[in-house]
């Protein structure tokens, strides 16, 4: 039979290793959430920045060329369109990167296919 002291030492060692693994998993999960939050802020920044930049350039065109509402409206529309384009491109790139990390997933049958 095992000695009680040896059993306690093994149990303590196991608890220490389990604690280390749990701490590492908590750190990894925290890093992933921070990374996701940073990507979200970047996404919002690109969208808002594109709209504001287009509006600003349209306003500047109005001031220089004297085409009062046309430059502002055109800049707003162009900035919004470019922001949407950049947002979709960024989202698709993020999706591709995440799918590459995870790998191929098994296909799930639709409810119609089960009949």
* Count of domains observed in the chain: 1
Residues in the chain, overall count: 115
* Per-residue pLDDT reduced to its tens digit, 42-85: 989 999 999 999 999 999 999 999 888 899 999 999 999 999 99
3-state secondary structure 52-89: HHHHHHHHHHHHHHCCHHHHHHHHHHHHHHHHHHHHHH
What's the pLDDT score for residue 88?
92
What's the pLDDT score for residue 89?
94
- Give the count of beta carbons closer than 10 Å to the beta carbon of residue 8: 11
Three-state secondary structure call for residue 108: coil
Instruction: Tell whether 110 is covered by a domain.
Output: no
Q: Which residue has the higher pLDDT, 2 or 16?
A: 16
Q: How far apart are CA 100 and CA 82, in angstroms?
A: 27
Question: Which range is most confident: 1-5, 10-14, 25-29?
Answer: 10-14
Q: What is the pTM of this model?
A: 0.60
Instruction: Tell whether 36 is covered by a domain.
Output: yes
Tokens matching residue 52: 């504001």
What's the pLDDT score for residue 30?
66
Confidence grade of residue 14 (pLDDT, cut at 50, 70, 90): confident
What's the pLDDT score for residue 111?
65
Q: How far apart are CA 63 and CA 109, in angstroms?
A: 59
Structural domain for 39, as ranges: 4-102
């Amino acid at each position: 039979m095992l000695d009680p002291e040896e059993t306690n030492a093994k149990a303590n060692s196991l608890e220490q290793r389990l604690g280390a693994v749990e701490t590492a998993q908590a750190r990894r999960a925290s890093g992933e959430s921070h990374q996701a939050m940073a990507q979200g802020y970047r996404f919002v920044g690109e969208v808002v920045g594109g709209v504001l930049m287009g509006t600003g350039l349209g306003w500047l065109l109005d001031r220089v060329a004297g085409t009062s509402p046309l430059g502002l409206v055109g800049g707003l529309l162009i900035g919004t369109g470019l922001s949407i384009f950049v947002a979709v491109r960024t989202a698709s790139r993020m999706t591709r990167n995440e799918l590459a990390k995870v790998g191929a997933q098994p296909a799930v049958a639709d409810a119609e296919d089960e009949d």
